[in-house]
Structure 1
């Protein structure tokens, strides 16, 4: 790693902040030289339908990248494969500024890790989404809101951070916003460079189907990967204020991520009659990955009158491309001097076009009607070319070399009505979505049907009832949601980990559909207690199948049903002393999964305790400190059972340069406790995994903000991009 890069980032931050020239404006002949913000923004804001976390108000949990911020939120857990859980439930939809990120799994992790936390202002955890949102997202929505400058003239924010674990990671970002006349221009660029690592241990016990307690073979796999990476991220746009009621905006953002992932896996085979391994397989694997995504769009917002009637429309385009080059070499004690090799070239591209229009019509003083329509077209084209070398030169592997083409069209419309009859508020909506899918696989030997077609239409009602009394609220929410398979899970290509472990998509996957009911009580926006019930059909989980010669295929499958229920309690900004505030989250969720396999009907059920506690101490004179901890208990997750996970984080913050600058020292996973463990039982096999990444880190960051001018109202800009979460290739 080039340490000079990190030094340069910090110098850039300091110098840029000190030398930017700003333009001041006049209002009523009064020149504004400086704006001083004295109001303290709370870390957490609690509402009936969502909870908002203000990143800048946090001391330790607002540093590093957006990935670090997200995984530290109360009730949020991100597994190493990129699956996001909220209070023990998966199926979370992640948005940025109300727009889908187009990504899920490792692709979403890549974007979040390359985007600095300094670029975000707040994060909304939306538990009661209205019909205006897409119906996707089983357990709710996470909306990351980037910073919006509201001052005329030149506004600048620069940030640099470095954190050290086993290896180092650095981020640098610069955001510029200029509002002048009828135009508002904004630009953000960030660069991330670092090295990550992954330690994985897998123990497999192969048993007889007729004698499940008798172990016929045990296999242990030890893997270690160290991978350096670089990532670029940008966001730019222009807003044109055509009139007092009309705003037109264009924007673009993108990401380029490159990594090289060398790794070694040692596989040890043992029969019950041997006290020690009787054979060993060494697999060396090198992957070169390059991923890029480009998004562009245009949006229009027009106020029809001064009473709040608004129409907005948008159109967006996304291109996501990637290349994955694989070199795998394996040798065995049973074959001395022989090395088997496999190489693969897996390029792919996704193109998505989407547009929508929304209309908001308040009337009669108490009513508000909303309606809208949306379309999206998705096209996927992926190729995989493999070749084998068993000592006789490279020979194309026709069985694994394939070409996958997928086309999807989703058309949707909704209508929603809200009314206030004090002390009651009611919001009812209905969304309809029609989905058309065509896919085909050519070349090779498809493990699942090589072509498929699907047509379905679904209705998604939602209802929110609120009763306000004094400073409290009691609400009841019902909503029907859907989680469509991400595109990576539909891709039937075979991905090779080693000679005995493969991963493959499933073109026969069905979407998950769930019904959610939640009763919530809010006390003075400081305390929230609720009870949730959720019933999901066709739950999508990673399943494990044994094929010939003990080869294990990891394939997404649909389980029959999944049920989740339990209480959730939050406290926000609870003052224990004049200098001490506490945020706490406690939830107990009971997950119950049911499915059928070759052994008959199977059940995995468990109650899980989830909790977090954040202490924030304000010592005055710009000094503050934060200490937080989180715990996720043993949890049922489809066919698997996840072991408990906990970690403790902390940090110190000092405001400098007349409060325009902020220095933070922070530490993550202080006790080196965060380790993912999983147990899986399927017919003929038990598996235990133990995985750790480079989570224990200490870091430093510096942020400088420069702005002069007067505040203007933020325009309402919406985008129609809503399929981003499903890209996971």
Structure 2
């Protein structure tokens, strides 16, 4: 009897196991295009008797999976912009099954026309290692520059000088089409202002970038993807805009593409003409050792700038066969900037009575030229996805700056005290050579390994010749004249492993970088030569772990970690003195050390609509702008300032409560703490920073759309600086024309003219400072854009492998 009971129990267990197995079957597959490349982002629907059972989004490898399925007859449909809808035959599912690879076919011209009518990319898409912002999703992005587009991206802040931060942290690295710009500071800001938004496809935000990207940039990587036309035949798009604030501005862009058989030719040309102003008020107070007033200083500057910048990118891809592509890309741009500054500086005695007055008439003319060539090779060995990519790059940057500072001093009674002039000529040249190879090897349909090598060599040659004229006599100013030579060689290797299960995704990478650098400042009549050399090697791990609750990714939890480095900018190491005006100077720092950072993220993603993220970051020796008070002059220089810790909570939401209404909202709150020594003073400051922005979109009709935007930035604590809060609002409207191939867009930014930059400078020795800056932020712009094209055919184009060095040119 006991034996019968045991057999019955065993039978029940086996039966329950079989029933569970029958109801926990998995159906998976992979999507490819005609060339064998994975199609990521496509929507895969699982149907039963024409009823939707589940839906999934293909991952970066084109893979999709449905789990916990019951035995039944199913059918699959696949939809994606640019491809014809795929409908499978019916499938009787009785066990876990892997489908043969699904090859998507290009949509016909008629199908594409239909897609243009109904399809619209979401503003934000979330991936395991990045957030993708689709530029054309916002009407107000039209007719602006790349720098303006970045400022409207969730988690990105751009300050009044064009410096970019990501999730509240400075030290972000900017790429264009996975290729490092090799620019930073004012040069980077000028370059991004010269790129029309009409040439941009998407912004990829990567606070924790994967190992294939260079380890440079403590705040992570921002990759700006430009538009690449992929249709057969002759295709193109054009965008032109006119903007009016106090001064007029214009951004224009043209993209052309011709593909015929084995060759694909492409051209992208742009031209921007930008005029703006800045009214800057600076006040300073100086104190004796006992804290009593010593003197006061106030300065008002009327700054007027004009930028004119043409740009050109052209190239050709040769498809040797369906698996091999060879290409060449040429690109270049020039930027001519003119700055006129008139200011009045008032110096007061301890009783705050006027002691003297200095008026200045300053002029700054700068010509910047940038050119590069990229040779690329891509080969896919088989249909499994084994690929090899090789990039060779050469980039040349040149600039020439002419400065003239005219100062006239008066006593309190307005009698002449003296006149002086300072003339400066500052030429600069930078050569960048880079070579890299990347290899991808799938281990299975859900796992792959990647690896690569890279080497880069940079040489810079910077001169500064200054002369001072007093009472008609001109003499060299050897204190500011200098000649700085710098060389840097970086060698790197990386490996990356990724694996996907039904609900779990894993990605882990390790990058090794060796840096050899040397700098030399040539002496002059009063200064001796100086030089430095450094050689260091670091390992940089990255790690991602993602868990999704079901095949439709209703909820995802993502854990990520990275270690990164921020190397000093090339010119920051130059111990030169550069005047901004008679009372403000910029000084380089040859003692700067690279900064190592650690970042840990935990994210919750709901239906790819709401992302909540908690982040912790630690910087050892963070590089930041510091201010030293010396007499009646302020000196700005980069410095390693102790340790920095950041803890933040951010929420990014993309909601559509009604078919006619979509809301994009981002908010972040961050606690930061800085601790170290600064000019013999103890720096121990902390603060809570918060920023929020929102965009409301209204679909009025198939041809009409409208948009409202809002931004609020609370006070920001950053080392010695406390930046004031501000808010701004904007509005835009769009009308589809010319059979919906063209559009007219009208936008107004900073409607109520409330975007005011102001702040305090603290932790100074016996001094304090404050500033207030108003610019040309309230503008109205009208943009016309037109697209023309034929059959869509997807093919990746390589754009370069110089990934890490140009970012640090200032």
Residue number among 679, 683, 707 corresponding to 2:789 in the alignment: 707
Structure 1 residue 444, shift from structure 2 partner: 4.1
1:411-458 CA distance string (max 9 Å, x none): 000111112233222111110110011100013489999311111111
Alignment of structure 1 residues 106-505 onto 2, 5 Å: 106-208=186-288, 210-211=289-290, 213-274=291-352, 276-334=353-411, 336=416, 338-444=418-524, 450-470=530-550, 471=553, 472-505=555-588
Residue 612 of structure 2 is aligned to residue 534 of structure 1:
no
Query: Is the Cα contact below 8 Å between 2:374 and 2:799 reproduced in 1?
Result: no
Structure 1 residue 468, shift from structure 2 partner: 1.4
> Hey, what's the Cα distance between the residues in 1 that align with 2:524 and 2:761?
31
Q: CA RMSD in A?
A: 1.9
> Hey, what's the Cα distance between the residues in 2 that align with 1:391 and 1:610?
52
Query: Is the Cα contact below 8 Å between 1:415 and 1:431 reproduced in 2?
Result: yes
Q: TM (normalized to structure 1)?
A: 0.93
Equivalent residue, structure 1, for 2:698: 617
Equivalent residue, structure 1, for 2:62: none
Residue number among 629, 645, 648 corresponding to 1:563 in the alignment: 645
> Hey, what's the Cα distance between the residues in 1 that align with 2:617 and 2:109?
53
> Hey, what's the Cα distance between the residues in 1 that align with 2:185 and 2:528?
22
Equivalent residue, structure 1, for 2:181: 101
> Hey, what's the Cα distance between the residues in 1 that align with 2:644 and 2:333?
36
> Hey, what's the Cα distance between the residues in 1 that align with 2:575 and 2:527?
8
1:480-537 CA distance string (max 9 Å, x none): 0111111232232221122221111111111121000011111110111111000001
Structure 1 residue 685, shift from structure 2 partner: 1.5
Structure 1 residue runs of 5 or longer lacking an equivalent are 1-26
Query: Is the Cα contact below 8 Å between 1:159 and 1:701 reproduced in 2?
Result: yes
Query: Is the Cα contact below 8 Å between 1:48 and 1:473 reproduced in 2?
Result: no
> Hey, what's the Cα distance between the residues in 1 that align with 2:528 and 2:748?
47
Structure 1 residue 163, shift from structure 2 partner: 0.6
Cα 1:445–1:482 shift into 2, 3 Å: farther
Structure 1 residue 278, shift from structure 2 partner: 2.2
Query: Is the Cα contact below 8 Å between 2:154 and 2:652 reproduced in 1?
Result: no
1:358-410 CA distance string (max 9 Å, x none): 11111144321111110110000011111111014211122221110000001
1:645-673 CA distance string (max 9 Å, x none): 32112100001000011100001111111
Secondary structure, aligned partner of 1:726: helix
Equivalent residue, structure 2, for 1:11: none
1:11-42 CA distance string (max 9 Å, x none): xxxxxxxxxxxxxxxx99x9857831232222
Structure 1 residue 291, shift from structure 2 partner: 0.6
Compare CA radii of gyration and give the structure with the larger one.
2
1:128-166 CA distance string (max 9 Å, x none): 311111111212211111111121011111111011111
Task: Tell me which moved more, 498-507 or 313-322.
Answer: 498-507
Equivalent residue, structure 2, for 1:7: none
Q: TM (normalized to structure 2)?
A: 0.83
1:61-117 CA distance string (max 9 Å, x none): 343111211112222211122211122111111111111112111111111111110
Structure 1 residue 261, shift from structure 2 partner: 1.2
Secondary structure, aligned partner of 1:134: coil
Structure 1 residue 260, shift from structure 2 partner: 1.8
Structure 2 residue runs of 5 or longer lacking an equivalent are 1-103
Residue number among 627, 635, 660 corresponding to 2:716 in the alignment: 635
1:293-325 CA distance string (max 9 Å, x none): 111111111001110111101011110000000
> Hey, what's the Cα distance between the residues in 1 that align with 2:296 and 2:167?
35
> Hey, what's the Cα distance between the residues in 1 that align with 2:298 and 2:517?
41
Query: Is the Cα contact below 8 Å between 1:407 and 1:438 reproduced in 2?
Result: yes
Higher relative contact order (CA closer than 8 Å, sequence separation 6+): 1
Secondary structure, aligned partner of 1:242: strand
Equivalent residue, structure 1, for 2:52: none
Query: Is the Cα contact below 8 Å between 1:408 and 1:438 reproduced in 2?
Result: yes
Residue number among 745, 757, 765 corresponding to 1:664 in the alignment: 745
Cα 1:32–1:71 shift into 2, 3 Å: closer
1:237-269 CA distance string (max 9 Å, x none): 111101110011110111111122121121111
> Hey, what's the Cα distance between the residues in 2 that align with 1:579 and 1:462?
41
Residue 770 of structure 2 is aligned to residue 688 of structure 1:
yes
Cα 1:487–1:128 shift into 2, 3 Å: same
Query: Is the Cα contact below 8 Å between 1:93 and 1:725 reproduced in 2?
Result: no
